[in-house]
Amino acid sequence: MPRFAANLSFLFTEVPFLDRFEAAAKAGFKAVESTNVYEAPANEIAARLKANGLTMALLNTPAGNAEMGERGLAALPGREKDFDAAVASALRYAEATDCRRIHVLAGVVHHGARWATFVANLARAAKTATGVDLLIEPINRRDIPGYFVNKTKDARSVIHEVGAANVGLQFDLYHRQVEEGDVATAMAEFAPLIRHYQVASPPDRGEPDAGEMNYRWLFQQIDASGFGGWVGCEYRPRAGTVAGLKWAEACGVALG
């Protein structure tokens, strides 16, 4: 059965960030992830993980300057030092929280993102990320207009060009459906590269129990593939986090 991680940047936002760890554990999750762990000191997060018996499944590199609308630095020419500092920060948090997966945010086209920069930065970062996987996630252009990596095949090309064993694919079923569709076929095609899944339902990015996709069946496909990692719940609750967790029963899975 797939193992699920609560994304604390999307779920349990009814309470302050550090309190979400306990809320996730009480709801039945055994793991968490976050798009912005930097809301709290690493040692505080580590303490909350330990106190609640939780695994840190995934964290993102810092996004950059929020006021400028930055969505990562990895593909931005001239920002190499900033990117290296962002990776170093992510690795410090990963070490403190025993997290083995880091999503490397690429950046957006209108800030000058370039393929060669992305590949070179990832290759350099991969050498410093001992024992940690660096992941690329294709993100649809409706949610983040101009994001540098939208197509799964392009993410694969980057991964192959970098050629490092610790660089892999973060496959978000929601982003794939919105951008390209054909989710189940893509899951099978890219399975050798996938290190982490994320889920939500189009068109509203709500719980994975309504909308365009048959998640009950898709979870069965993940299970049948032998995938042993985590499935991140990166969705927007439609009517409160806890009330929305009934999706698990509806899909025939357990959170923990």
Count the helix, strand and coil residues of the chain and give each as a percent rounded to the nearest 5.
Answer: 45, 15, 40
The tokens for 45 are: 């997060």
Residues annotated as catalytic are 137, 234
Instruction: Using alpha carbons, select from 14, 48, 78, 86 the residue that is nearest to residue 241.
Output: 14
Position of tokens 């300057």?
65
Contacts of 54 (CB under 8 A, 6+ apart): 21, 24, 25, 29, 30, 31, 32, 48
**For the chain, counts of helices (H) and of strands (E):** 10, 8
The tokens for 44 are: 């505080």
Residue 192 exposed, middle or buried by CB count within 10 Å (0-12, 13-18, 19+): exposed
